[in-house]
Amino acid sequence: MKDKTRVIGTTGGALGLGAFAAAVGACCGLPWTVALLGVGAAVALARLSFLLPYALLGAAGLLGVAFWWAYRPPAVCADGTCDTSSRRPLRWIVWAATLLVLGLATISLAIGTT
């Protein structure tokens, strides 16, 4: 089931980039970030703040690939050995990841602009 690993891999990458964007956005706007991470880590994340739009674009691109893998038409099989499993769980994973990335992006943009 190659589609399952591809969809889960791309949604995982999108979630990772969304979490990175949220961390970069939070480093500059919240004092508790300095308390949790320490001054050195907060300064290091602040230096990476220019990567925020690229991380969000990368997450959107990976989600686009995940949607394509989850919703593409099944392959035509001539010999009758096609995979007949449902893609519904994969589609749920993609939609859940999309909502999480949107939430992380909203948090990172809202905090990063304060």
> 16: which residues sit within 8 A by CB, 6+ positions away?
none
The neighbour count for residue 83, using CB atoms within 10 Å, is 12
Looking at residues 13-24, what average pLDDT do you find? 78
62 lies in some domain: yes
* Cβ–Cβ < 8 Å for 71, 91: yes
Per the model's pLDDT, the better-predicted residue between 92 and 34 turns out to be: 92
Query: Is 80 a member of any domain?
Result: no
How confident is the model at residue 11, as a pLDDT? Answer: 82
Residue span of the structural domain in which 30 resides: 2-72+87-112
- According to the model, what pLDDT value does residue 39 have? 74
The pLDDT value given to residue 112: 59
pLDDT of residue 93: 85
In the chain, how many domains are there?
1
| 32-91 residue pLDDT tens | 666 766 777 777 777 777 777 888 888 888 888 888 888 887 766 666 666 667 778 888
Tokens representing 75 are 């392959």
38 found inside a domain: yes
Amino acid (one-letter) located at 29? G
| Predicted pLDDT at 48 | 75
Is there a domain that residue 10 lies in?
yes
Positions of E strands within the chain: none
Distance CA 36, CA 25 (A): 15
At 114, the pLDDT band (50, 70, 90 cuts) reads very low
Q: Any residues with CB less than 8 A from the CB of 29 and at least 6 apart, and which?
A: 111, 112, 113, 114
Instruction: Take residue 3 and report the two structure tokens written for it.
Output: 């589609």
Amino acid in position 4 = K
